[in-house]
Structure 1
């Protein structure tokens, strides 16, 4: 169906709505799957593919046989967490020489990236290529994306993408999520639908103390009280709001929050009784004193408290499973991190909702020259190299001898590699979702098998696979709820405050936004 524009005012035009169905199919690149490396654990129930066998580094395949860049300068702005590599470092220089690019990186603090992104998009000076995370697509930023970034269809739609084989191997669902305002504007980092937030627990401490992993909300609270000892500086958990959504079957906010229920009604996540039940359960954890005081104060890093043994359960993304294992391997060899399987609040099966098939994009500014666009696409094509290729190895480990050495067939970064091969190159694009850790293959197996188990209870929402730009008049409608949730679970706000906020949301535009979504879904079809 054509882009829905009937619900907007004079500022809307092609900037709001969604494109799906046959209209979207015409905009998509032709899908040509990569056949380079067969996974040991094929994708199942929406999981990523898993690689647990050692890769023969001497026989890595080539996915970019010729240099596609011309060496023209390219400015790239991206979020960054930690200390970025220095300009002109060996990693940047070697990649530029291989890809044919000359990138000036404008790395910005990932924690405050939304502010910087908003300011840059509101200005007249936009870098050639900008990384746009889905969680920043709120308020005016989502509309600015359509106004400020170019349509990549002339370069990538249909068979045109075959010039860039690694981009052609990105699944169509991820490309469909890259349509903004009726045009293909984003180059996606694909995500596995079963890549849920993980409730991690300290398996080594559980085993040592004889704890059984909880299997219901009540069991978790009982265990948490038993496990907490403020005197010993040990608390059961951090703020469990993210995991609580999975336990109580609440739509994550990252799914746009809308779904057509079994009774045919289109409802928002905050209207479901499970939404309040989920928050009230987390409030009970805080009230029982089982949450670390720094989590209550909302300061510091929950992951550090977890590795220090001060917190036994915390929420994290999939990367933490390997990241924490590597971090603790030398200093704390007994350390074991495991993902807790989701349970329904009552102890039955959980209801989990599929993550969107893409959540981060790189985009190219409108008005960029043909050479700039082609250099940007050359960089993205290199970054999207699949597992088992020289290019993937280069992006993830750098140059052998300079950034890593090979021990027992496994690449190991040296100090320079740790400092430099930690860059935003990986955010320009990515291959079909996969998990591989040559140094800890069992962690890769556990991650994928965890996804497969949770994925068995996964549903797709009505807006799955759609990139929907809401009208600007609703831009701030839901903005208060994140802080309200934080305050409520800590006892700073009352249940009546949340209920009043929901009521205000409905009367201030929520009901009208529902009508807008209903018309959009009627015209475009449901994502599930």
Structure 2
């Protein structure tokens, strides 16, 4: 199954630390024995208090995100006081785009510091470089005040116990109401911040916004006379891919094998399934062989880019945006990013397929990972927990507020121009605002694209359609030490096997042996630990 960026970051950290320092990442802060599931379940999570200051055009639910057709005309200034204490605050993070201009040449960063009342000093690295930087800083004990911690960091309970502030008294239950925009983050997201019987961080929520579906270039399909495609089963899905492929014109249906979509058609679990207290890995599901056969069939038919198995994700995104691929399996976050990166002009349009059942009926889409990362505060910071929480609260001001408008788009005239009430970013805005502050804290995503109300309408419609069928990862909120240490490497091994099978280099029958190796190398121990954690929490 595809390894997410977060899995990659977490799984790489131990190796990176050994390479950089000659010692394990968490030497001196091994997993704390008090990180019991029962102790964690006993923590009173923050009270959810939905912010009512902005009314969405397309109201969401506990699952479906709120949608907006335009930015509110008079954004409410939601926070009166500057959150900072006048002293510099340091922060370390990855960033998804190019490294932006430094503070001295970045007018957005300078304006941000003025609004915060403290200079925010950011140490940033690209997604690819962050694992080494994170590992080196942890191993050297050189930590900033605010730290972006990937969710799959190895032995995260021990790291947090040794290095991070315990925030329980500030955030548990109604105490969080002092920070109204942190309280506006639904309770479910806080489960990923509880370790060692305490709340050790602030969540950067994703969930539905990270749910991935087959995205398609609606403009390219329309040019072929295909409007609102809706295959009813795998065969129609496959036939559509063959219909839109034109290799001689350098156009293929898919950027990669849509194996995740096929698995969802077959009802394969989202990472881990729990039933009656028993856990089953998606790798073990009986439909895996059928999914792999179907994937091989698509490879053999030549409906995906010939470089699909060798090029990086960044190249696949370029194929989609450039029109040499019509379909890509990606998230609602990526959907918006495609519009940001597009050079195809006003005709550019993206849509999403629902997931049908393999032989008809409805498929079972997977809910996206709950968190992008958790943000922890250095226990040795000279700033108070209250100051750092006020900073996080400011960063979580939601869509429709003046703070959100500035945080995401910058300063009018310099970073964007208003089109009606919609902020339309310019190149300077995109570059200067990309300093990673969304990884300190963030509100849940709002469905919106400046100047294109049809984008949020399409996104809201497909979310509403799939909401009741979403399949969740049963392991979320449960800690397995073996999973923490071994998940990344074991998943890489089985993904390598999957790639060989899909390319026809190994038979589908090899999958069963690969799963047996996965089980004996740590998979079965992960299962046992997850089942014990689930039992200890009585399934809470």
User: Do Structure 1 and Structure 2 share a fold, with TM-score over 0.5?
Assistant: yes
TM class by smaller structure:
0.7 to 0.9
Equivalent in the alignment of 1:184: 199
Equivalent in the alignment of 2:171: 156
For 1:384 and 1:246, how far apart are their aligned partners in 2? 33
1:306 aligns with 2:306: no
For 1:152 and 1:33, how far apart are their aligned partners in 2? 21
Matching residue within 10, 13, 25 for 2:32: 13
For 2:259 and 2:499, how far apart are their aligned partners in 1? 8
Q: For 1:201, what is the secondary structure of its paired residue? A: strand
- CA-to-partner distance for each residue in 1:416-474, whole Å, 9 max, x for gaps? 2122122211121112442222322220121122111111212444334x152424665
Greater displacement, 165-174 / 403-412: 403-412
Equivalent in the alignment of 1:3: none
Equivalent in the alignment of 1:520: 533
- CA-to-partner distance for each residue in 1:269-300, whole Å, 9 max, x for gaps? 11101233323322221122111012132345
- Return the TM-score normalized by structure 1: 0.88
Q: For 2:130, what is the secondary structure of its paired residue? A: helix
1:259 aligns with 2:273: yes
Call closer, same or farther: CA 1:525–1:21 in 2, change over 3 Å: farther
Equivalent in the alignment of 1:444: 456
Call closer, same or farther: CA 1:21–1:126 in 2, change over 3 Å: closer
Greater displacement, 378-387 / 484-493: 484-493
1:96-175 to 2 correspondences below 5 Å: 96-134=113-151, 137-140=152-155, 143-175=158-190
For 2:416 and 2:145, how far apart are their aligned partners in 1? 31
Post-superposition, which runs of at least 4 consecutive aligned residues in structure 1 deviate over 6 A? none
1:50-69 to 2 correspondences below 5 Å: 50-56=67-73, 59-69=74-84
1:92 aligns with 2:109: yes
Call closer, same or farther: CA 1:440–1:333 in 2, change over 3 Å: closer
* CA deviation after TM superposition for structure 1 residue 514, in Å: 2.0
Call closer, same or farther: CA 1:445–1:519 in 2, change over 3 Å: same
For 2:438 and 2:319, how far apart are their aligned partners in 1? 28
Please say if residues 178 and 467 of structure 1, whose CA atoms lie closer than 8 Å, have aligned partners that are also in contact.
no
For 1:44 and 1:100, how far apart are their aligned partners in 2? 35
Matching residue within 296, 301, 309 for 1:296: 309
For 1:150 and 1:54, how far apart are their aligned partners in 2? 37
Q: For 2:308, what is the secondary structure of its paired residue? A: helix
For 1:318 and 1:419, how far apart are their aligned partners in 2? 21
* CA deviation after TM superposition for structure 1 residue 138, in Å: 4.8
Please say if residues 98 and 126 of structure 2, whose CA atoms lie closer than 8 Å, have aligned partners that are also in contact.
no
Aligned-residue Cα RMSD (Å) equals 2.6
For 1:403 and 1:117, how far apart are their aligned partners in 2? 30
Please say if residues 479 and 530 of structure 2, whose CA atoms lie closer than 8 Å, have aligned partners that are also in contact.
no
Please say if residues 18 and 468 of structure 1, whose CA atoms lie closer than 8 Å, have aligned partners that are also in contact.
yes
For 1:243 and 1:145, how far apart are their aligned partners in 2? 36
Matching residue within 91, 97, 100 for 1:82: 97
* CA deviation after TM superposition for structure 1 residue 503, in Å: 0.7
For 2:357 and 2:184, how far apart are their aligned partners in 1? 36
Call closer, same or farther: CA 1:180–1:276 in 2, change over 3 Å: farther
1:250 aligns with 2:264: no
Matching residue within 479, 486, 489 for 1:468: 479
For 2:485 and 2:251, how far apart are their aligned partners in 1? 46
- CA-to-partner distance for each residue in 1:173-231, whole Å, 9 max, x for gaps? 11222113322112112224474112111222222223454222122222322332222
For 1:280 and 1:111, how far apart are their aligned partners in 2? 32
- CA-to-partner distance for each residue in 1:86-108, whole Å, 9 max, x for gaps? 22211111111111221111111
Equivalent in the alignment of 1:499: 512
Equivalent in the alignment of 1:7: none
1:332 aligns with 2:353: no
Call closer, same or farther: CA 1:194–1:418 in 2, change over 3 Å: closer
For 1:31 and 1:213, how far apart are their aligned partners in 2? 37
For 1:35 and 1:454, how far apart are their aligned partners in 2? 26
For 2:433 and 2:185, how far apart are their aligned partners in 1? 23
Q: For 1:499, what is the secondary structure of its paired residue? A: helix
For 1:513 and 1:161, how far apart are their aligned partners in 2? 33
Please say if residues 65 and 446 of structure 2, whose CA atoms lie closer than 8 Å, have aligned partners that are also in contact.
yes
Equivalent in the alignment of 2:397: 385
1:350-499 to 2 correspondences below 5 Å: 350-371=363-384, 373-464=385-476, 466-471=477-482, 474=486, 476-499=489-512
1:72 aligns with 2:72: no
For 1:482 and 1:140, how far apart are their aligned partners in 2? 23
1:217 aligns with 2:216: no
* CA deviation after TM superposition for structure 1 residue 81, in Å: 1.9
For 1:491 and 1:20, how far apart are their aligned partners in 2? 48
Equivalent in the alignment of 1:348: 361
Please say if residues 74 and 375 of structure 1, whose CA atoms lie closer than 8 Å, have aligned partners that are also in contact.
no
* CA deviation after TM superposition for structure 1 residue 46, in Å: 1.3
For 2:209 and 2:439, how far apart are their aligned partners in 1? 20
For 2:293 and 2:360, how far apart are their aligned partners in 1? 17
- Return the TM-score normalized by structure 2: 0.86
Call closer, same or farther: CA 1:277–1:150 in 2, change over 3 Å: farther
Please say if residues 205 and 370 of structure 2, whose CA atoms lie closer than 8 Å, have aligned partners that are also in contact.
yes
For structure 2, list consecutive stretches of 5 or more residues without a partner in the other structure: 1-28
For 2:334 and 2:526, how far apart are their aligned partners in 1? 36
